[in-house]
A and B are shown apart, each in its own frame.
Chain A
Amino acid sequence: MISFKHVSKIYPPNIVGVEAVNLHIGPGEFVSIVGQSGTGKSTLAKLLFAEERPTRGTIEIGGWDITHIRHHEIPLLRRQMGVVFQDFKLLPRKTVYENVSFALQVAGSAPRRIREVVPVVLGIVNLHDMFDRYPHQLSGGEQQRVAIARSLVHQPKVLVADEPTGNLDALNAREILDLLKKINEFGTTVVLVTHDRDLVNRVRRRVITLEGGKIVSDVEEGRYKL
């Protein structure tokens, strides 16, 4: 599904983002990428959704070599991938429904499909009674669930969650984790980038640990060790 071969990302003048990363993530896996701040976790996530390009090595997603992905191909990649961030990235002047449908609108989906899909994904994240609320009327956990719903509308094969619980309290963080696990159970590959020890220990799935831009451990059913 996802394959990194000898991938390095060096920022000018000579700052290492990640170095000589080799990893393979299979379809339907739930992988936590952990490490302290500045170890290259977010760089790895950015390489996944082509926000950054590798300096060396090759990256493949679903057999598609995105190492030298062209500008006009990036939207196609992102429509097959869901991305969730710590700061939710919701549009404050749009309602919950509009925020989620926005992703389909800009991708050119027909209104009928939008009317069908949006309520379903909002149901999955348990927001079926909050369609008309604005982000400021929601809790942090609810806002993150909207962001997850938005990332799911394209029915992505991969969901990349970059510190999705960074702005949430423990209870909301657990809810988001449960939601990610539920999405994973539907067959979506989930890549969770986090430095939240409790979260990783609760998942009890594969854990890849980064240090200084390099993979220092890759353990099935691992725990946060740093």
Chain B
Amino acid sequence: MILSIYRVSKFAIQNFWRNFWLSLITITMLVLTLLTVNILVVLNFVTDRAIQAVADRVEVSVYFHANASETSVQNAVTYLRSLQQVRDVATISADEALEQFAARHQDDETIMKSLEEIGTNPFGPSLIVKAHEVADFNTVLEALENPQFRDNIREKDFSNYEAIITRIKDTTDRIRTFGIVLSGIFLLIAVLIVFNTVRMGLFIHREEIGIMKLVGASNAFVRAPFLLEMVLLSVVALAVTALLLYPTLAVLEPKFGFYFGGQTVGLINYFEQNGWRLFGLQLAGLVFLTLFSTWLAMRKYLKV
């Protein structure tokens, strides 16, 4: 058994080298297919991160009047925290607001002079409310209409990112659909190329196959090198894809970081953590595909 596996492997490797250009074309096509699939994976990941990043920034700033009582502000905080939709409520006291304002405009003489002229703290306390989901902000905004503290609120500042998120989703959905269609096309071409590679292989080795059959090689022994050769091509294609993908991600990651406020997107980390699963699934899919294509070609062209 081991001997047969060794010999079948030897024949498969011989086939690979003897039809080097054919093997190269097949590998190129398989690599293109895998790259498209991985671009989709990257796109999916970056989109999720982008949506998450935008969602994280969504907040409602609630500014109270300068004369609003601390009890009133505290009531609002307690009430908001009791809501399921609210993730976090941060309080900024009037003094902190003044400090932050002064720090922000310390280089602006006019503003600083104006502040001195007023003489008192013109700022009231404020709250920064974060919700779990963007859609939850409607509830938060409604909650702020509670008569208990509504009159103490001077202003509510809600930057609505929902439109941005919808736009991100729409754009990525379109790109994803295009990617899936492109993957499908590459997949189909890959199947046809594998089919043709096997057909050519059978034609090139027809003499050898004939002799193998003549001297008593089993059908499995005749077929196995072709199947194994395609597994080999799939493995090489996956290795090439991984080799191309990692440096590309390393170059792209800082560029993505620019759009995420300098923070790392975690692409490489994602691939390092999920690489075995991702590439394992891709290899399994690819092997299944190439074996299916090989089986079709052998069924049509190899009479054993």
**CB contact list, B1-17 vs A, under 8 A:** 3-4, 7
Q: How many residues of A contact B (CB 8 A)?
A: 24
Q: Name the B residues within 8 Å of A110 (CB-CB).
A: 3
Q: How far is the CA of A111 from the CA of B3 in the complex (A)?
A: 9
Task: Flag A65-78 by CB within 8 Å of B: 1 or 0 each.
Answer: 00000011011111
Tell yes or no: A106 within 8 A of B by CB.
yes
Tell yes or no: A103 within 8 A of B by CB.
yes
Tell me whether chain A's interface is mostly helix, strand or loop, or mixed. helix
> Contact: A107 with B211, CB < 8 Å?
no
Please pick, from B207, B216, B304, the residue contacting A106 in the complex, using a CB distance under 8 A: B216
> Contact: B215 with A102, CB < 8 Å?
yes
Tell yes or no: B160 within 8 A of A by CB.
no
Tell yes or no: A91 within 8 A of B by CB.
yes
Q: Name the A residues within 8 Å of B208 (CB-CB).
A: 91
- Known: A105-B7, A106-B7, A110-B3. Contact between A78 and B207, CB under 8 A? no
- Known: A71-B304, A89-B211. Contact between A106 and B217, CB under 8 A? yes
Q: How far is the CA of A90 from the CA of B7 in the complex (A)?
A: 19
> Contact: A154 with B210, CB < 8 Å?
no
Closest-by-CB residue of B relative to A108 is B4
Tell me whether chain B's interface is mostly helix, strand or loop, or mixed. helix
Tell yes or no: A83 within 8 A of B by CB.
yes
Please pick, from A71, A72, A83, A108, the residue contacting B214 in the complex, using a CB distance under 8 A: A83
Q: Name the A residues within 8 Å of B215 (CB-CB).
A: 78-79, 102-103, 106-107, 150-151, 154
Closest-by-CB residue of B relative to A154 is B216
Residues of A within 8 A of B (CB): 49, 71-72, 74-79, 83, 89-91, 102-103, 105-108, 110-111, 150-151, 154
Shortest distance from the beta carbon of B208 to any chain A beta carbon, whole Å? 6
Please list 15 pairs of residues, one from A and one from B, whose beta carbons are closer than 8 Å in the complex, sorted by A's number: A49-B214, A71-B219, A72-B219, A77-B216, A78-B214, A78-B216, A83-B214, A89-B211, A89-B214, A91-B207, A102-B215, A103-B215, A106-B217, A107-B217, A154-B216
> Contact: A108 with B3, CB < 8 Å?
yes
Shortest distance from the beta carbon of B213 to any chain A beta carbon, whole Å? 8
Give the one of B207, B210, B211, B213 with max A CB within 10 A: B211
Shortest distance from the beta carbon of A53 to any chain B beta carbon, whole Å? 14
Tell yes or no: B221 within 8 A of A by CB.
yes
> Contact: B219 with A75, CB < 8 Å?
yes
> Contact: B210 with A106, CB < 8 Å?
no
Q: Name the B residues within 8 Å of A76 (CB-CB).
A: 216
Tell yes or no: B218 within 8 A of A by CB.
yes
> Contact: A89 with B216, CB < 8 Å?
no
Tell yes or no: B135 within 8 A of A by CB.
no
- Known: A78-B214, A89-B210, A91-B211. Contact between A106 and B219, CB under 8 A? no
**CB contact list, B212-247 vs A, under 8 A:** 212-219, 221
Please pick, from B210, B212, B213, B218, the residue contacting A72 in the complex, using a CB distance under 8 A: B218
Q: Name the B residues within 8 Å of A72 (CB-CB).
A: 218-219
Q: Name the A residues within 8 Å of B210 (CB-CB).
A: 89
Given A78-B213, A103-B215, A111-B3, 18 additional A-B pairs, CB 8 A: A71-B219, A72-B219, A75-B216, A75-B217, A77-B216, A79-B215, A90-B211, A91-B211, A102-B212, A106-B7, A106-B212, A107-B215, A107-B216, A107-B217, A108-B221, A110-B3, A150-B215, A154-B215
